[in-house]
Homo-oligomer: A and B are copies of this chain.
Amino acid sequence: MKRPTIADVARRAGVSKGAVSYALNGQPGVSEATRQRILAIAAEIGFNPSRAARSLSGATADAVGLTLCRPARTLGIEPFFMELISGVEAELSARSYALTLQVVADQEAEVAVYRRWWGERRVDGVLVCDLRADDRRVPVLEELGLPAVVIGGPGGTGGLASVWSDDAAALVETVEYLVALGHRRIARVGGLPALLHTEIRTEAFTQVCRRLGLADAVTVPSDYTGEEGARATRRLLSSAGRPTAVIYDNDVMAIAGLSVAQEMGLAVPGEVSIVAWDDSPLCQLVHPPLTALGRDIPAYGAHAARELLAVIGGAPARQVQDGTAHLTPRGSTAPPRAS
């Protein structure tokens, strides 16, 4: 099938190409009657302006980029990214923006992708995930002047805009809840240590435990996979003076941990309480269902997309706070059984 161009619309409407362009883009320069007639013809013949021609004439690419830096397998198992993408998409589609996705092996590859996208004018801006301490991507994006919104923080985002959530507060709430139940030995299985939010959580965990006078607030570093979560749990639960409650940095590890506890013959929640970070539907599929720290991830993604569109539109880069995760108590937490 032959694609209609602006010239086809102009010819049928009996006006110049310029007039068609004005009509389509809501610019002044055509009478209302003419505009309506042009719009009707465009709709009738199914005209969609060529993105290439538009963006070559100085308009935007109407596309936003997102890179994902995780191996194929673990990308799939964590609901987080897909939910985030859904939310981003919802916001972008509403404004006819496209999402360009790229899976990368490491930060070096990611930086190369940003440079290429910028040079190719492929995207108008990017969404940055998995912020690290001293993140290499931040200065590159600043140097390029490529609009960007970091999903994460607070802090460490340089002059870039960001949307963040108060993980420290959520962690404190969780520990206080467990202490109120009577727990004194609480451990944590953390996410990738290189990520900034892991650092933030670890720091908050250490501080709140000290404040509440809990003895050994140990954090075992991990990588979000079930295997590592299982291994860390096995180690924690077979140690002398094992914890009576474990907080996991994602739900996949929490589910693996639950399984390990049950395998070891420890009752959950009687002998071990379990709390998961990220309250995806997975948490309610297991038995007992997991107490979890949840937040609306699609909304978080939509929020970030909205900010990015604003920055692309020329708004100043802001640090915006998104909602804090809240705890939903379920069957996996209870007072520790006297032993």
Q: Which residues of A contact B (CB under 8 A)?
A: 1, 3-4, 46-56, 61, 63, 71-77, 79-83, 85-87, 89-90, 93, 98-104, 115-116, 118-122, 143-145, 225-227, 230, 252, 255-256, 259, 262-263, 280-282, 284-287, 297-298
Contact = CB atoms under 8 A, between A and B. Distances in A.
- Kindly name the residue among A52, A255, A281, A284 whose own CB sees the greatest number of chain B CB atoms within 10 A: A52
Contact of A90 (B50, B54, B72): B72
A100 B98 contact: yes
Nearest to A99: B101
A1 B285 contact: no
A103 B89 CA distance: 6
A75 B81 contact: no
A104 B230 CA distance: 37
Nearest to A283: B226
A64 to B, nearest CB: 11
B103 A144 contact: no
Tell me what chain A mostly uses at the interface: helix, strand, loop, or mixed.
helix
A87 B99 contact: no
Contact of A51 (B115, B122, B145): B122
A77 B287 contact: no
Given A4-B119, A48-B115, A52-B53, 11 more contacts: A50-B120, A52-B55, A52-B61, A72-B90, A76-B81, A98-B102, A98-B122, A99-B102, A252-B281, A262-B287, A286-B286
Nearest to A3: B119
A256 B280 contact: no
Given A56-B52, A89-B101, A297 B76 contact: yes
Contacts of A98: 100-102, 122
A143 B3 CA distance: 12
Contacts of A71: 86
Given A1-B144, A100-B100, A77 B282 contact: yes
B80 A76 contact: yes
Contacts of A46: 115, 119
Contacts of A56: 50, 52-53, 56
Given A119-B47, A120-B48, A120-B51, A86 B77 contact: no
B103 A93 contact: yes
A47 B285 CA distance: 51
A257 to B, nearest CB: 9
Nearest to A65: B98
B50 A121 contact: yes
Given A72-B298, A101-B101, A121-B50, A226 B281 contact: yes
B75 A82 contact: yes
A102 B93 CA distance: 7
Contacts of A79: 76-77
25 contacts: A3-B121, A46-B115, A51-B55, A51-B120, A52-B54, A53-B56, A63-B100, A72-B298, A74-B281, A76-B80, A76-B280, A77-B282, A82-B82, A89-B101, A90-B103, A93-B103, A98-B100, A98-B122, A100-B101, A101-B101, A226-B281, A252-B285, A255-B285, A259-B287, A263-B287
